Structure 1
Amino acid sequence: MQVNKVRADFGELCVTTTNELSIESEITPASARALRENPSVCASGKWDAIAGTFATGVIKAAPLSLLRNWFKPEVMLAGVIDGQMIFKAPKSAPATLDANIQTRDGKLIYQFQGGKVETYPLRQATANASLKNNIFNASLIMDWDKYGTINADGKYTLTDKKIQAKASTALPNLAPLEGLLPMLNNVVGSANGNVNVAGTLDKPEVTGRFELTGGSANLPKLGLELKNVSFLITSPSVNSAHVEGKITSGDGTLVTQGNFTNIGSPDWHWQANVFGANIRIIQQSQLTANISPNLKVNASSKAIELTGSTEIPWARANVKNLPESATRVSSDVVIVKNNSALEAVAKKSIPSATRQGKVGNRLLITRRATSIT
């Protein structure tokens, strides 16, 4: 490194790592070739009081496994990342940028519960960016073979802050997304959408459509199986959107319907209704419960208002032993130890909205919740 008042040369800095191959059924010729490469990330830069700034960066065969922390523990990643960047900022001319990054021989390998292993090939994943004549261009392509594609490109003019961008999604099979969703298993469904953005950075104009259909998934921590999942966002006019969604859990279906206005503005507003009956929210050996919400949401940049009510039409708690710390119990909860205690309880004043019964060692409680305002 050489630095003085009129010039600075930072030289080249490189970081290297090992390229480990994820567990696969067999080592392909492409993956074997990647193992023989020396992974590295290098950067260099110069500054001159007259010539300006010059910087470069190169990524060579960096293993995709470096990204494993973003995925579930059951996920293995194979393949490498290559890329380069050149940035110039002359003192007497606009700055320029040319950058690209892409994967090579990419695969996502997922081990399901029970030992089954599925491989999702990433045929192409590239991102490009350029800056020339004060116009910034960017593009993204992700091709998951039969599982679908994601494409996006955009242009931003630095002088007048104008935006022109579009994105499209065509995912007939959402299975690869399971690796990114730590709480979900057995993800099924399809998604399609397109978004167009125009206007300026201060006042963007957004239109488009996104739809998720045929969705289902399991939430192991809550013991739930979500079925008939659908979600639709339509934005036929600028900066407004209508949202509809449904999720079935147990014997009930949660429904949401709402409208978004002034998207991208400080005066944005969201209004929605959320309702349903006998929706299973937890199903564990210790606790099982259903809810029936009827809520209205009004939200803006200034406040979020939630009104309505939620009922708990049915719940079951398997109470074995109370800890010593449980010295206070809510007045509307009754622990029944035997039939004589149940008869004694029945003689006392009980809120009309509360019902309880006893099946074996299980306590059944049905209670209507108070209104939310």
Structure 2
Amino acid sequence: DIPKLSVNADIQNNNLTLKSDINVQNQGRIGTDLKIHDLSKGRQLGGTFTIKGLRLSLANQLFSSGESLDGEVVSRLSFGGNLEKPLLNGNFDIRNVKTKLKSLPFDVTDGQVAIRFNGTSSTLNGHVQTPDSKLNINGQANWAHINNWTAEVRAQADNFKVDIPSMAKLKISPNVVVKASPKLLDLSGNVDIPWARIAIESLPDNAEPVSEDEVILNGPRKSKEELINRQFASETKSGMQIQSDLKIKIGDDVHLDAYGLKTNLNGLLSVKQDKGNLGLFGQINLKNGRYASFGQDLLIRKGQISFSGLPSQPMLNIEAIRNPEAMEDNKVTAGVKVIGMASSPQVT
């Protein structure tokens, strides 16, 4: 409900004045007092924009049962300069955020974001507090040259807990930077995963390629090669090129349980994206692995998965032997070796 809405626009003598006052469901007010002088040439900016006590709980009516969002938005900004080189001074704050959303892999007990505007630049500081971990956010932006603006945001945390329902619980320590300009969106940094418990009962629909004999009626059929070599978005809708360079370190307390395979993982991966091509480089090691399926009890003696480009085409080097305790003659070693590309490994 909007109990009160008033808008007053006035153009006289080549000047524009715009005033508005919006009362949002008696839980916050948004006000504008904007002036533009000399509309035909100079277009000088002036005036203010204010938000008073706007409650984020207004969005709760959009959520399902058990989900909630609360917090407050407060802002006071003043305008200067002109439309070609705008000046912005003041603050924009999001305070006391608390969330419980199914789309988020963690609950937020306290979230704060403070943006300070200083003419043609701004700074950002904030954090996301969960029941047992904290993520810090800071950044800056500059629009002194409006057609060549820049922005940067850094996220950092130590052992930040993430819970992906029905799949994984993780502790991650990211130190990641996102840089943006009109032509480029760049993601770089490090993500350490010192602890994780991953249990997969079924793969997501997009994980398996389409069967050779399946016909797609409502769209073009994609070959196995197209699925293996599929392209990722190379630019945003606004035309920014996307590139990334992330180092992912898998620590010594990461455990995987999937399809009869139980093993610890560790390793170092580099994720690079450029011009729509996603490259994965590095190696994952299987430690203390065991595979039980179809009546077999196999111990993984060697397990290496090496990536040198295509994420879907790692090089496998795996040796698995039957558990000696299950052998009638424990002097006999029986097992399997898997060596080669994932799409066509040599199995002995």
Instruction: Say whether the fold is shared (TM-score over 0.5).
Output: yes
How far apart are residue 277 of structure 1 and its match? 2.2
Give 1:312 shift: 2.6
Number of the residue aligned with 2:31:
151
For 1:294 and 1:245, how far apart are their aligned partners in 2? Answer: 15
Confirm or deny: 8 A CA contact 1:260 1:270 kept in the other structure.
Answer: yes
Q: Deviations over 1:232-281 (max 9, x none)?
A: 0112x311111012113453222111121225712322233211123234
- Residue matched to 1:332: 284
What is the deviation of 1:231? 0.2
Describe the shift of the 1:176–1:127 C-alpha distance in structure 2 as closer, same or farther (beyond 3 A). same
Cα deviations by residue, 1:288-317 (Å, 9 ceiling, x for unpaired): 334221122333223233321112333333
The runs of 5 or more residues in structure 2 that have no matched partner are 212-227, 229-257, 259-279, 306-348
Residue correspondence of structure 1 range 275-314 to structure 2 within 5 A:
275-314=156-195
Matched, 1:348 2:230: no
**1:69 counterpart residue number:** none
2:34 touches 2:46 (CA, 8 Å); kept in 1? Answer: yes
Aligned residues: 230
Deviation at 1:174, TM superposition (A): 2.5
| 2:92 alignment counterpart | 210
Unaligned residue ranges in structure 1 (runs of 5+)? 1-106, 108-121, 352-373
C-alpha distance in structure 2 between counterparts of 1:208 and 1:181, whole Å: 32
One-letter amino acid matched to 2:96: G
Could you tell me whether the CA contact under 8 Å between 2:128 and 2:135 is conserved in 1?
yes
Matches within 5 A, 1:62-141: 107=1, 122-141=2-21
Alignment of 1:129-278 (within 5 A): 129-144=9-24, 146-157=26-37, 158-159=39-40, 160-171=42-53, 173-179=55-61, 185-235=67-117, 237-249=118-130, 251-262=132-143, 265-278=146-159
Report the CA distance between 1:350 and its aligned residue: 5.2
Measured in 2, the distance between the counterparts of 1:276 and 1:341 equals 42
User: 2: distance between equivalents of 1:204 and 1:180?
Assistant: 35
Aligned residue type for 2:127:
K
Tell me, what secondary structure is at the counterpart of 1:147?
A: coil
CA contact under 8 A between 2:29 and 2:54: conserved in structure 1? no
- Whole-Å separation in 1 of the counterparts to 2:188 and 2:296: 38
Contact 1:215 1:227 (C-alpha < 8 Å) held by counterparts: yes
Structure 1 residue identity aligned to 2:74: N
Q: Residues 260 and 223 from structure 1, CA distance in 2 versus in 1: closer, same or farther, beyond 3 angstroms?
A: closer
- Superposition deviation, residue 164 in structure 1: 1.2
8 Å contact 1:250–1:280 — kept in the other structure?
A: no
CA contact (8 A) 2:291 2:298 kept: no
Percent identical among aligned pairs is 20
Flag the 1:341–1:189 CA change in 2: closer, same or farther, 3 A. farther
Q: Distance in 1 between matches of 2:145 and 2:70?
A: 32
| Residue 317 of structure 1: aligned partner | 198
What do you get for the CA RMSD once the two structures are aligned? 3.7
Q: What displacement does 1:168 show?
A: 0.8
- Match of 1:348, SS state, is strand
SS at match of 2:189: strand
CA contact (8 A) 1:127 1:140 kept: yes
Letter in 1 for 2:140: N
Give the deviation of 1:338 after TM superposition. Answer: 4.1
Q: Distance in 1 between matches of 2:194 and 2:52?
A: 40
Partner secondary structure for residue 299 of structure 2: helix
Cα pair distance change 1:274/1:263, threshold 3 Å: farther
Tell me if the contact between 2:175 and 2:191 (Cα under 8 Å) persists in the aligned partners: yes
Shift of 1:225: 1.4
Separation of aligned partners in 1, 2:7 and 2:59: 20
Change (3 A) 1:282 1:210: same
> Contact (CA 8 Å) 2:121, 2:140: kept in 1 or not?
yes
Q: What is the distance in 2 between the residues matched to 1:222 and 1:332?
A: 28
Distance (whole Å) between structure 2 residues aligned to residue 341 and residue 315 of structure 1:
27
Structure 1 residues 124, 308: closer, same or farther in 2, change over 3 A?
same
| Partner AA of 1:130 in structure 2 | D
Deviation at 1:198, TM superposition (A): 1.1
